[in-house]
Each structure stands twice: as structure tokens, then as C-alpha cells.
Amino acid sequence: MAVDYSTLKKGGFMRQKQKNHFSLRLSVVGGQVSASQLTAITKVAEKYGRGYIHLTSRQGIEIPFIRLEDIDEVKEALAEGGASPGVCGPRVRTITACQGSAVCPNGCIETEELAQELNRRYFGKELPHKFKFGITGCQNNCLKAEENDLGIKGGVRVSWVQEKCISCGVCAKVCREKAIRIEDGNIEIDRGKCNYCGRCAFSCPTDAYETAPGYLLSFGGLFGNKISKGVTVLPFVEDQDTLFRICDAALEFFKENAVPGERFKFTIDRVGQEKLDETIWNAFEGN
């Protein structure tokens, strides 16, 4: 019987050099894997693989040396622990994310919930080529947002609360962008220099800054045979409804304009950055 390798690849089973063996890519969202999932993965690797797993560069887990005849049993064994195969090929791939504000003291946004929602909306969506989302919680950029087709970087918009301020100067000292100036006891923020890192607010001993979380987006990042840094098109995005409109618009732009086998970056280059900008700005403004 002929083997449908295309369907197997779509379901996360990638052909190995060894005949009738596959490296199984698992579904991992935002880098989070539960203990029960790990237990199931371990059992599968020991029983059906060669007793080890491979950690990919995008927070993925792969189990090499799965035999063709064991694929159905492997799926069942993984499902018992709440684990499942991922996807490969021309579609939305694994959503990567750092731990964000739930764990990291530098985190500006809650990344895990956002990764789960992006996964629910887009994971496995059929496209002309693969498409990668990456979420990083702050300007430290641990997840290298600009390497992704659509990068999401967390930030906070700060507002000075004069009556709480004791003019200690800590905020100005910690601001790496030199966006804060203190004059006659007043704080002045140069919005043109501010990168929304939130260090001023996080360092303030009297909570003299109000913060509003949001997103800094980049488009067309690529890190493979060709390397390209994603381009920032928009100002600070302040709410998730707007964020998801923009994500919808970017994916639709790619689907409508790309040719098969063409990455998002090259579609933008061929069609024109100005056309993408128009699409993204329309989504940003709710048009």
C-alpha cells in the first residue's frame, strides 16, 4: 500500500533518512508542557522510539525513530497524557512564547494566554507556505520576535502620577533610552524615545507610574536560508481586539498574495511593502 507522506507530514510525522521511520513533532503552545504530557511523551519515546527526544529551536519536542506501523498506537498513547502531534508544511506553525508577566519580573504582558488564543485561532491554518508567530514579553526579547513572520513584543505605556512621586530619580537612572527627564520636581517623558519597556514603572518605589500593557509588532521576519529582520509598521497596539484584527489581516494578505512555496517576507518584497502597510493600517484603525 502506498504511503501518503504528505498527509503524515501535515500531521507532524516527518520522514527520516531511515526507511519507514519518522521524527514526530508534537504540539507545544508557548513553550508550556504539562507533567502528564511529559510522562506520556517519555513513555512513547521509550516504547516506540529510541529512548530520547529532541528539543527544537522553536520550543518544540520531537520523538525520532517512530516506525510507520506504530503511528496509530503512538497517537493513542500520547492522547492518554493530553499530548498530540503538531503540524509541518505550508500552514501556521507552533506559537512560541516566553514566560511573560506571570513569571518574569520584566514581563509586560501575559504571554501564555495570548499564545493559547493565537493557537486556537490560527494553528494549522492552510497557507501558501509556513507562517510563524513568536511572542516575547518585553524588550529583552528572549524569543527574538523579529525573526518571525509576525512577531509580538510586549510593552507598557506609562503615565506619571505626580502626587505619588517623591522625586527620587530612580526612573530616570534606569531608563536605557534616556526618555525621562526631571526638571523642578516634574517628570517629562519623551514619547519619541520611549520603547515601552516599563523599567521606570517597575523600578519606582512609590508606584508613581500607571501602566497599560500592549504590543509592538513586526512583520516579515525570516531566519533560515535567508535572514531578514521583521519590519515595524505600526505604533503601540493597546488592546487584543486590535491585535487579532491585525493578525487576521496579515494572514489574509499572505494567503491572497503569496505564490506556493513563498515565505511572507518574499511576498512583501514582491507585492510591495506599501501594500502590506496599507492593509495593516486599515486593520489597526478598524477599517
Q: Write out 18-38 in H/E/C secondary structure.
A: CCCEEEEEECCECCECCHHHH
Contact 54, 66 (CB under 8 A): no
Rounded Cα–Cα distance for residues 114 and 112 (Å)? 5
Q: What is the mean pLDDT of residues 200-213?
A: 97
Q: Is 211 helix (H, G, I), strand (E, B) or coil?
A: strand
Task: Report pLDDT for 287.
Answer: 85
Burial class (CB in 10 A: 0-12, 13-18, 19+), 93: buried
3-state helix, strand, coil in the chain (%, to 5): 35, 25, 40
19 vs 53: CA distance, rounded Å: 19
**For 188-206, what is each residue's pLDDT tens digit?**
999 999 999 999 999 999 9
- Report the pLDDT averaged over residues 238-253: 98
Per-residue confidence (pLDDT) for residue 34, from 0 to 100 = 97
Place of cell 489597526: 284
- Rounded to whole angstroms, the Cα distance separating 33 from 229 reads 29
Mean pLDDT in residue range 258-284 = 98
Q: pLDDT, tens digit, for every residue of 15-48? A: 999 999 999 999 999 999 999 999 999 999 999 9
Name beta bridge partners: 187.
Answer: 182
Closest to 30 (Cα-Cα) out of 88, 111, 139, 132: 111
Mean pLDDT calculated for residue range 50-78: 97
Q: Which pLDDT score is estimated for 128?
A: 98
pLDDT at residue number 109? 98
Partnered with residue 13 across adjacent β-strands are: 24
pLDDT at 224 > cutoff 90: no
103-138 tens-digit pLDDT: 999 999 999 999 999 999 999 999 999 999 999 999
Asked if pLDDT for residue 90 goes beyond 70, the answer is yes
At 3 the pLDDT is 84
Mean pLDDT of 141-149: 97
Average pLDDT of the chain, as a whole number = 96
Residue 1 has what pLDDT? 60
Q: Is the pLDDT of residue 141 over 80?
A: yes
